[in-house]
Amino acid sequence: MTALIARTTSLRAVGRKLAMRAVGIVAALGLATACTSSESGGPSNQAMGTFMGAAVGGAVGGLAFGSAGGVIGGALVGALAGNLVGRALDNQERARLAQATQTAFTAETNMPTNYTVEPTSTSTSTSTSASAPPPTVVGAKPVAPATTRADGSTCRPIELTATKNGQTTTETTTFCKVAGSNDLKPVSV
């Protein structure tokens, strides 16, 4: 009986060592994911979501199951959930730009429509506002009056602007709307 207890204790110690190694591996993978940069040079919201999800999921899985499998499984589930949340944040910025474009399509020429998308905190700890990323500002401005094409569609060139992490991108695109529809489609003229 004493030998069985000693063997069980020894197996638990080995399991803890494996769990700690798995935590190290998950942390390394999370850091590698977080180093995936966005167009602005910093980590993208999607990469940060993946990293934070993996870290939290791995910790919860390790504590709940007390094994390397629990850490790895928790990290994988957390990374997937964090990735989806991070992608949604990027989608929020795109959705606001689409909304600005819809508004600009019917606005007076050179009258901009801007939206500010506040960054979402990726940390549960208190942090100073100096460490928080700046908000993303997206905008759309019609640069010429709307024209009607032979097929009945209405078209208008709109200047799209996005300022994220201090870098501004501007592009002018012509959007058209088919008669009777509210959907705008970018076209090349």
pLDDT digits (tens, 9 = 90+) for 74-108: 666 666 555 654 553 478 888 898 999 999 999 99
Who wins on pLDDT, 24 or 61? 61
Measured CA to CA, the distance from residue 1 to residue 130 in angstroms comes to 60
Over residues 108-164, the pLDDT tens digits come to 999 999 999 988 655 444 455 567 788 999 999 999 999 999 989 999 999 999 998
- CA separation (Å) from 148 to 88, 107, 120? 36, 16, 41
**pLDDT of amino acid 123:** 44
Structure confidence at residue 33 as a pLDDT band (50, 70, 90)? very low
Measured CA to CA, the distance from residue 85 to residue 56 in angstroms comes to 14
Measured CA to CA, the distance from residue 160 to residue 116 in angstroms comes to 14
pTM greater than 0.75: no
**pLDDT of amino acid 70:** 65
pLDDT at 36 over 50: no
